[in-house]
Amino acid sequence: MTNSTQSDRTTFLPQNNEDATRFLDAFATMSSFGATEAGGIERQAATEEHGQTRSWLAGWLTERGFSVRRDHAGNMFALVELTPGAPYVLAGSHLDSQPRGGRFDGAYGVLAAAHAAERVVSHYRSSGEKAALNIAVVDWFNEEGSRFKPSMMGSAVFTGKLDRDVALGTTDTEGTTVREALTAIGEIGTEAVFGDSESVACYAEIHIEQGKILDKQSVEIGLVPSTWAANKYEISVHGAQAHTGSTEMADRQDALYGAALAVAAVRELADRYELKLHTSCGQLTVYPNSPVVVAREVQMHLDLRSPDDAILAEADDLLRRQFAEIEVKANVRIEKRHAHTWKANYYQGEGVELARTVADDLGLSNIEVQTRAGHDSTNMKDLVPTVMLFIPSVDGISHSELEFTEDKDLCNGVELLAETLFRMSRGALTGSPAQ
């Protein structure tokens, strides 16, 4: 457990053992919503389990004086006004999970933000100090993108990158729209929460690393300076439906064969760039997916990521040429139906420096770690100064029930976030120091 009484620390919000225990108990309770037998959670966006988790957290926040509001895109915010009319420091992540996902991905960041914000608020209330900025916590809607695509939906609407009506009209595989799913669990509001009268001045997010750099180097904190670029494609391979027995091999337009070649091509592409390119095909939908029918169409989701925009562009070009060869070889047509892309992008240097200073003051070892995964902070950093923090993931396992982070790392992260939010609330990133 973190000991806050060491004299070499320059901190405003020391975390005592009681704070740490309270956080771990709350984390255990939160992890019971949608818990799977293997220790993970099944809590996809706008499901009953997601709604239950939100209701529980909303209750916790309301009891502590936060005003909980849902916006028109399904994001849940909890606000505390310390200084009337001042903009807000916002902190959070996402409570939704992948199917059979881990209990730390996203949910840790939301709960850490709630506890950190509560400590900041308590400090102002007990000290009488005047805050430059107000405090709010957020659960961004549908960060995972497993039930509804694209991922990072709520923060994309919030930052003006995705039209709200397009987001609300998106359907899952059952044909249920985002609007219907959110309405069914009572998690959609009628308007934006932050608008003309209230604004967000800066944002912070803490998340498990989902990689093994911190774990392998035994470093406690990752300071995120930039994101990997990503290209996510929806591909359709078009063939012709036929009998698997009677149709001559030469006459076949087997969409599944074409898709299989494409999956292999995407995988082998990564081998050309060693550590600089990650590729995968995460989903295949086969039509009609019947044992004695040659597939007429396969829809697939491809995901290419790199720290280097130039490599990603080159990979994209190589893939296009390979797809042309596959079209000839398998006698199919490959159509790129939709793409969701973002470039390698930098977080504000002042935010990285602020977090480094705080981590040093707390005596927490830290290094810079790029994020390979997308996060809501990827959207937010284009709007306001944003701090992105990582804590270690054991063996780097994520999007899996085996995802794990040690208690001491969870608590270190909450203490770091609380102190960072406090300094942000005093104007550290916005140049408006408190009086």
Residues near 194 by beta carbon (within 8 Å), at least 6 away in sequence = 71, 77, 88, 158, 200
Task: Give least dist CB 154 to Zn ion, A.
Answer: 12
State the burial class of residue 36 (Cβ atoms within 10 Å of its Cβ: 0-12, 13-18, 19+): middle
Position with the least CB separation from Zn ion: 106
Instruction: Fill in the amino acid letter for 369.
Output: V
Task: Give least dist CB 208 to Zn ion, A.
Answer: 8
The answer to whether 96 contacts Zn ion (rule: CB under 5 A) is no
Stretch that binds Zn ion, among 25-33, 99-107, 268-276, 342-350 (CB under 5 A): 99-107
Task: Give least dist CB 376 to Zn ion, A.
Answer: 8
Nearest 10 degrees: CA dihedral of 368, 76, 64, 363? 0
Q: What is the CA radius of gyration of the chain?
A: 23
DSSP label at residue 80 = E
Task: Give least dist CB 61 to Zn ion, A.
Answer: 20
Task: Give least dist CB 96 to Zn ion, A.
Answer: 9
Contacts of 312-319 with CB under 8 Å at 24 or more apart are 312/229, 312/230, 312/231, 312/277, 315/269, 315/273, 315/277, 315/279, 316/231, 318/269, 318/272, 319/265, 319/266, 319/269
Task: Give least dist CB 261 to Zn ion, A.
Answer: 32
Stretch that binds Zn ion, among 105-113, 225-233, 249-257, 298-306 (CB under 5 A): 105-113
Residue 95 or 157: the one with the smaller Cβ distance to Zn ion is: 95
Query: Rounded to whole angstroms, how far apart are CA atoms 351 and 369?
Result: 14
Query: Rounded to whole angstroms, how far apart are CA atoms 391 and 357?
Result: 16
Residue 139 or 297: the one with the smaller Cβ distance to Zn ion is: 139
DSSP label at residue 371 = B
Query: Rounded to whole angstroms, how far apart are CA atoms 409 and 320?
Result: 43
Stretch that binds Zn ion, among 103-111, 145-153, 156-164, 228-236 (CB under 5 A): 103-111
| Paired tokens of 200 | 């967000």
The answer to whether 409 contacts Zn ion (rule: CB under 5 A) is no
Task: Give least dist CB 69 to Zn ion, A.
Answer: 23
Query: Rounded to whole angstroms, how far apart are CA atoms 138 and 193?
Result: 11
Query: Rounded to whole angstroms, how far apart are CA atoms 36 and 184?
Result: 23
Residue 105 or 254: the one with the smaller Cβ distance to Zn ion is: 105
Residue 107 or 332: the one with the smaller Cβ distance to Zn ion is: 107
Task: Give least dist CB 207 to Zn ion, A.
Answer: 6
Contact 124, 68 (CB under 8 A): no
Which of 51, 101, 106, 154 contacts Zn ion by CB under 5 A? Answer: 106
The answer to whether 139 contacts Zn ion (rule: CB under 5 A) is no
Cα–Cα nearest to 74, from 159, 194, 196, 181: 181
The answer to whether 105 contacts Zn ion (rule: CB under 5 A) is yes
Task: Give least dist CB 374 to Zn ion, A.
Answer: 8
The answer to whether 101 contacts Zn ion (rule: CB under 5 A) is no
Residue 105 or 187: the one with the smaller Cβ distance to Zn ion is: 105
Task: Give least dist CB 229 to Zn ion, A.
Answer: 18
How far is C-alpha 417 from the geometric centre of its chain's CA atoms? 17
| Paired tokens of 32 | 């019971």
The answer to whether 385 contacts Zn ion (rule: CB under 5 A) is no
Residue 51 or 106: the one with the smaller Cβ distance to Zn ion is: 106
Stretch that binds Zn ion, among 76-84, 97-105, 284-292, 412-420 (CB under 5 A): 97-105
Q: For the beta carbon of residue 408, count every other beta carbon within 10 angstroms.
A: 15
Beta bridge pairs of residue 404: none
Stretch that binds Zn ion, among 101-109, 149-157, 331-339, 387-395 (CB under 5 A): 101-109
Residue 106 or 154: the one with the smaller Cβ distance to Zn ion is: 106
Cα–Cα nearest to 349, from 403, 241, 234, 429: 429
Stretch that binds Zn ion, among 106-114, 133-141, 276-284, 326-334 (CB under 5 A): 106-114
The answer to whether 374 contacts Zn ion (rule: CB under 5 A) is no
Residue 105 or 403: the one with the smaller Cβ distance to Zn ion is: 105
Q: By the criterion CB under 5 A, which residues form the site for Zn ion?
A: 105-106
